[in-house]
Amino acid sequence: NDGGSMSTLLKRVKKLPKGFVWGAATAAYQVEGNTNLDGKGKIMWDDYLKNQGNFSPNPACDFYHRYPEDLKIAHNLGLNAIRISIAWTRIFPNGYVTDEPNEAGVKYYHRLFHECLKNNLVPYVTLHHFDSPKTLFDQGDWLNREMIDEFVKYADFCFQEFVEVDNWFTINELISLAMCQYIQGTFPPNKLFDVSDAIQAQHNELVAHAKVVNLFKAKGYKGRIGLIHVIQPVYPATNSEADRHAADLRDAFMNRFLLDGTLLGFYSDRTRHLIKEILVANNAELHILPEDLEILKQASKQNDMLGINYYQNQTVASYDGPSETYHNGNGKKGSSVFAFHGVGKDVRNPAIPTTDWDWNIYPEGLYDVLKRIAHDYPDYPVIYITENGMGAKEAWDSSKEYLDDNYRIDFIDQHLAAILKARNEGVNVQGYFLWSLQDQFSWSNGYNKRYGLIYVDFASQDRHLKRSALWFKALSKTMK
Ligand code: BG6
């Protein structure tokens, strides 16, 4: 019983392109658990989560031990790729790169990559997914340029060591990290509206990425390398000039600065102008060293891939009041507030449905993002959708064979249709990774925001399939 005929399962998307990369995504800290095991060093989250006392990163889905089971399920569901991240502090426990990496950590990732390949899952590997080593975090994280140097050394080690891996991503979602750390206060060090830190951290991460790309190419490592951005297209609340300008400013802050830095290798005049307006409004500063631009320029011509994560759009109105934010971390619909002095205030567009966490569901936004990249950055490298998915409150009902998550099927189906439409119009998108393979630990929302194809009972660690998993499998068969 596959829970429905192929024709009802396959809605708008009738067929995937041949050779399409069809995967699901994970991140080390969100799945592995076992954060103290086998010599793993602390990251920026461990003490913070402990002190906060809301949720623990252990055992998460115990992927550290249960990866063979999860990868086997992934294979059986017809996936041909998987996105995973390496936990820097499993390899170098205190962040600093030495000649003596932690052997247990190195062996773990060899076993993991081997198991991926055994299951015909091509690993796409991220080097930094929101998990800076604690020692480096304490010294300023990405605001401290020493972090860039250590990151380059850590990346170099991984390229030399993990020859099984052909597809590398340096850093995941620079803007989310900066927003959560320095604007919304939901990630350590929990600052609020520190615009200088938020912009500086992103610039420094772009330089770190660029240095790694330049090294990867200079040393002639095999395989491909890229960066992952989450893009949230911004639409004005009304057609007024003030709202349109606010949307432009927000877009510069969220998207344009990073896309320029990655794909052009410099910040265009228009981008600099908009960013300057944001800095002035918030009494903030950005420091760019002359050599940074050389480094960015060189790397911009050498990216092999671009990872795009897409979840939602933003609707923004002009706003000059004091900045304020409230993070809806428990799924109480309608509770979010985000108003950013001089950079627009989020407003609800009643035509756009939302999840319980107030994330807009707007598949057309993904089409717009892809078209925009192709238009504004014609030299863009091949694009992979490295994350897209829908968080929901779900509970396993043992009287049923599968968990019914038809809303997730609709969500993915509509987003895939948007991707394929852009692809048919010439945008070079070659793959899709659903966030996420299995239910995981969500950074500032804990465990009741579930995204997986596979339902995880976090107490027993039992796995159950959701209806979306069957749909995923049905789609995988259309590639043949
Ligand atoms: C992305 C991240 O921003 O969104 C993931 O790369 C994250 O790590 C995912 O889990 C969903 O966000 P959240 O806050 O709902 O877990």
pLDDT in tens, 405-445: 999 999 999 999 999 999 999 999 999 999 999 999 999 99
Nearest CA, atom 7, ligand 1: 442
Summarize the chain as % helix, strand, coil (round to 5): 40, 20, 40
Nearest CA, atom 2, ligand 1: 173
Residues catalogued as catalytic? 387
**What CATH number is given to the structural domain containing 228?**
3.20.20.80
Structure tokens at 68: 């063979």
pLDDT at res. 4: 56
* Cis amide prior to 353 (ω within 30 degrees): no
Q: Outline where DSSP puts E strands in 174-333.
A: 224-230, 234-236, 305-309, 314-317, 324-326
Across residues 192-199, what is the average pLDDT? 98
Would you say 364 and 415 are in contact if contact means Cβ atoms under 8 Å apart?
Answer: no
pLDDT at res. 264: 98
**Among 133, 107, 131, 111, which Cα is nearest to 123's?**
111
pLDDT(366) > 50: yes
For residue 14, the number of C-alpha atoms closer than 13 Å in the C-beta half-sphere is 0
**Cα–Cα dist 246/238, whole Å:** 11
Q: How confident is the model at residue 480 (pLDDT cuts 50, 70, 90)?
A: confident
Across residues 71-98, what is the average pLDDT? 98
Structure tokens at 308: 């795009």
Residue 342, domain member (yes or no): no
Residue of 254, 384, 442, 447 to mutate, ligand 1, most atoms within 8 A of C-beta = 442
- The residues near 424 (Cβ < 8 Å, ≥ 6 apart) are none
pLDDT at res. 13: 74
Bridge partners, residue 378, by sequence: none
Residue 330, domain member (yes or no): no
**Cα–Cα dist 387/394, whole Å:** 20
* Cis amide prior to 189 (ω within 30 degrees): yes
Burial of 376 (0-12, 13-18, 19+ CB in 10 A): middle
Number of independent structural domains in the chain: 1
- Closest ligand 1 atom to the C-alpha of 357? 15
Rounded to the nearest angstrom, the distance between the alpha carbon of 233 and the centre of ligand 1 is 17
Would you say 442 and 30 are in contact if contact means Cβ atoms under 8 Å apart?
Answer: yes
pLDDT at res. 5: 59
pLDDT at res. 1: 44
Would you say 250 and 345 are in contact if contact means Cβ atoms under 8 Å apart?
Answer: no
pLDDT at res. 14: 76
Residue 227, domain member (yes or no): yes
Bridge partners, residue 133, by sequence: 43
Q: Going by DSSP bridges, is the β-strand pair 122-128/81-85 parallel, antiparallel, or unpaired?
A: parallel
Nearest CA, atom 8, ligand 1: 27
pLDDT at res. 2: 47
Q: Going by DSSP bridges, is the β-strand pair 21-25/81-85 parallel, antiparallel, or unpaired?
A: parallel
Dump pLDDT digits (tens) for 104-141. 999 999 999 999 999 999 999 999 999 999 999 999 99
Q: How many CB atoms lie within 10 A of CB 58?
A: 16
Rounded to the nearest angstrom, the distance between the alpha carbon of 68 and the centre of ligand 1 is 24
List all residues whose CB is within 6 A of at least one atom of ligand 1. Answer: 27, 30, 172-173, 176, 230, 309, 387, 391, 435, 442-445, 449
Residue 331, domain member (yes or no): no
**DSSP assignment, residue 43?**
B
Q: What is the ipTM of this complex?
A: 0.99
Domain that holds residue 359: 6-313+348-477
Structure tokens at 399: 């009287």
Q: How many CB atoms lie within 10 A of CB 378?
A: 8
- Closest ligand 1 atom to the C-alpha of 389? 11
Q: Going by DSSP bridges, is the β-strand pair 337-340/344-346 parallel, antiparallel, or unpaired?
A: antiparallel
Residue 161, domain member (yes or no): yes
pLDDT(447) > 80: yes
Residue of 357, 443, 449, 451 to mutate, ligand 1, most atoms within 8 A of C-beta = 443
Amino acid at 366: L
Nearest CA, atom 10, ligand 1: 442
pLDDT at res. 424: 97
Would you say 372 and 310 are in contact if contact means Cβ atoms under 8 Å apart?
Answer: no
Rounded to the nearest angstrom, the distance between the alpha carbon of 98 and the centre of ligand 1 is 31
Residue 343, domain member (yes or no): no
Residue 20, domain member (yes or no): yes
Over pLDDT 90: what percentage of the chain? 97
Dump pLDDT digits (tens) for 229-251. 999 999 999 999 999 999 999 99
Angle between the N-to-C axes of helices 269-281 and 195-218, in degrees from 0 to 180, rounded to the nearest 10: 150
Structure tokens at 17: 């392109």
Across residues 296-311, what is the average pLDDT? 98
Rounded to the nearest angstrom, the distance between the alpha carbon of 442 and the centre of ligand 1 is 6
For residues 341 and 10, the model is more confident at 341
**Among 138, 273, 156, 256, which Cα is nearest to 206's?**
256
pLDDT(12) > 80: no
At residue 326's C-alpha, the angle toward residues 324 and 328, to 5°, is: 160
Amino acid at 78: G
Residue 214, domain member (yes or no): yes
